[in-house]
Structure 1
Amino acid sequence: MDAASGTDVADLLLPTNRSRSAPLWSQVKSALSQLILKGELREHAQLPSEAELCLRFGVSRSVVREALSQLVNERMIYKLQGKGAFVAGRREEQDFVGTTIGFSGELADKSKTVTRRILVQSRAMPSARICKLMNIAENTPMVFLDRVLSVEGHPRFIVRWAMLERLVPGLDSLPMENRSLYDTIGRQYGIKLARAERWIEASTASVEDAELLQVPLGSSLLGIESVASNHLGEKIEYYTALYLTDRSRLHFSVVAPSF
């Protein structure tokens, strides 16, 4: 059943045509693809089980598995261990890695509903890694804010953020569940980030990350580490982010250096 539309997904499926030259798995894949592209199968709707697909299409389980595998490779569906296959959301361009606008700021510009779950909000001393990248002393107070950001109800980012405490006094006690972080530091503290260095690497979901993002253990993630400076060149912000890319892709603009 497609909860969003009330349609029984299985009722939309017809048996394969064995007189056609196309392989059976290709026919199954094509039939499911058309339902997805036409909107008959909504984003994140669950597909029937492999057994039911075999029955509806009149094919073997190996045929169904090959069709589903191809749809996963083309990112039209995704699988959750122990739960089944689901229609993937549309992959959107995300530009935040190449700007200082922030995650929720860019998504808000695209009229997306962003919700935030606070994991950590405190004042503490930086780690050795932060001290090294920001070139600060180990006794420099910072405000830490760890959050899970969801888009349209689906967890997408885990962001572990920190900023020099002297620039954002009291931020550790502000209610941030319903606030954009970058809007808050801009409006309330007058902070504008002028430049950022970012490192990006492939990552996989740990037990904690998988639970927070509601994905299987070991799922592919994109890891981002960032250090940002103000207009004076002072490094004032650090964050790491784990980004679920099954429903979107990152966009960069690269400018050639002047000579």
Structure 2
Amino acid sequence: MEARDTPEFADLLLPTNRSKSAPLWSQVKSALSQLILKGELSEHAQLPSEAELCLRFGVSRTVVREALSQLVNERMIYKLQGKGAFVAGRRDEQDFIGTTLSFSGELADKSKTVSHRNLRQEIALPNVRMCKLLGISSDTPVVVLDRLLSVDGHPRFIVRCALPEHFVPGLDKMPMENRSLYDTIGRQYGIRLVRAERWIEATSAGPEEVKLLQVPLGSPLLGIESVGSNDRGEKIEYYTSLYLTDRSRLHFSVVAPNF
């Protein structure tokens, strides 16, 4: 239910105290923060409109906008163009970017339910980028596996993998719906990835991502490119992915190089 439709919520919004030394925007921000932290507002609940907040707090729209801006910066709320402000979901910390763990494997360790929906699974020829990062020729067949990963029923991640077929013969025919790729190649082919190089960039949702991830056009996404190697230095897996970070944040451990 949206916050604006809940009478109890409206009663919690009290006018600001102009005798206090704290700026009015800070008082508004603090009041909304407390409601969010105490659970009075559930994840993704819609906040009242700016006009309603002005009325409830007895302040100007400039004050309300500053308070909301601060809450956005602190990732307590988010805004959708033309729709308003919403309470941000709790963000799980994820370490898969800085390790050879798979996305689904890491979340399974955190008691999350991860599901995989196959979008494409077949043998194809590699593109130029695959050839470069996997160190293969343009006529080397690869098994392509494109999937949509969801966490607790919410679409989170579109990942497009390519593995040289000679490492994983028959993978194109193997049932992979709701199966971990890393677990499968470990059990079936004895492959264990021990090293990965990854590149990350900011991007946004296009028409295909809108449909698959169920987000508005232009929503911010994280683009990830990766190439993984086994203990012999053979490059086994190449993938690109688009990652929706509204419910999570990525964690890195950085170590100073030895001189």
CA change 1:190–1:9 in 2 (3 A) is: farther
In structure 2, distance between residues paired with 1:8 and 1:165: 60
Q: Any stretches of 5+ residues in structure 1 without a counterpart?
A: none
Cα displacement string for residues 140-170 of structure 1 (whole angstroms, at most 9, x for unaligned residues): 1111112222223333222111112233233
CA change 1:2–1:185 in 2 (3 A) is: farther
Aligned residue number for residue 155 of structure 1: 155
Report if aligned partners of 1:2, 1:9 keep a CA contact under 8 Å in 2.
Answer: no
Aligned residue number for residue 185 of structure 1: 185
CA change 1:228–1:101 in 2 (3 A) is: same
Aligned residue number for residue 98 of structure 2: 98
Q: How far off its partner does 1:105 sit?
A: 0.4
In structure 1, distance between residues paired with 2:53 and 2:11: 11
Q: How far off its partner does 1:258 sit?
A: 4.3
Report if aligned partners of 1:9, 1:47 keep a CA contact under 8 Å in 2.
Answer: no
CA change 1:97–1:35 in 2 (3 A) is: same
The RMSD of aligned alpha carbons is 2.3
Report if aligned partners of 2:117, 2:178 keep a CA contact under 8 Å in 1.
Answer: no
Q: How far off its partner does 1:96 sit?
A: 0.6
Aligned residue number for residue 70 of structure 1: 70
CA change 1:146–1:12 in 2 (3 A) is: farther
In structure 1, distance between residues paired with 2:183 and 2:192: 10
Aligned residue number for residue 88 of structure 1: 88
The residue correspondences of 1:213-224 to structure 2 (distance < 5 A) are 213-224=213-224
The residue correspondences of 1:128-139 to structure 2 (distance < 5 A) are 128-139=128-139
Cα displacement string for residues 13-55 of structure 1 (whole angstroms, at most 9, x for unaligned residues): 2222233332322221111101111122122222223333233
Report if aligned partners of 2:193, 2:230 keep a CA contact under 8 Å in 1.
Answer: yes
The residue correspondences of 1:138-177 to structure 2 (distance < 5 A) are 138-177=138-177
Taking structure 1 as the reference length, the TM-score comes to: 0.88
Greater displacement, 6-15 / 145-154: 6-15
How many pairs were matched up? 257
Greater displacement, 102-111 / 226-235: 226-235
Q: Any stretches of 5+ residues in structure 2 without a counterpart?
A: none
Report if aligned partners of 2:98, 2:253 keep a CA contact under 8 Å in 1.
Answer: yes
CA change 1:177–1:12 in 2 (3 A) is: farther
Q: Which amino acid aligns with 1:45?
A: A
Taking structure 2 as the reference length, the TM-score comes to: 0.88
The alignment partner of 1:144 has SS state of strand
The residue correspondences of 1:39-78 to structure 2 (distance < 5 A) are 39-78=39-78
Aligned residue number for residue 28 of structure 2: 28
Does residue 79 (structure 1) correspond to residue 79 (structure 2)? The answer is yes
Q: How far off its partner does 1:136 sit?
A: 0.4
In structure 1, distance between residues paired with 2:186 and 2:11: 52
In structure 2, distance between residues paired with 1:134 and 1:171: 18
Report if aligned partners of 2:197, 2:226 keep a CA contact under 8 Å in 1.
Answer: yes
- Runs of 4+ in structure 1 off by over 6 angstroms are none
In structure 2, distance between residues paired with 1:10 and 1:180: 46
Aligned residue number for residue 202 of structure 2: 202
CA change 1:211–1:163 in 2 (3 A) is: same
Report if aligned partners of 1:168, 1:185 keep a CA contact under 8 Å in 2.
Answer: yes
Q: Which amino acid aligns with 2:209?
A: D
CA change 1:257–1:50 in 2 (3 A) is: closer
Q: Which amino acid aligns with 1:102?
A: S
The residue correspondences of 1:243-254 to structure 2 (distance < 5 A) are 243-254=243-254
Aligned residue number for residue 225 of structure 1: 225
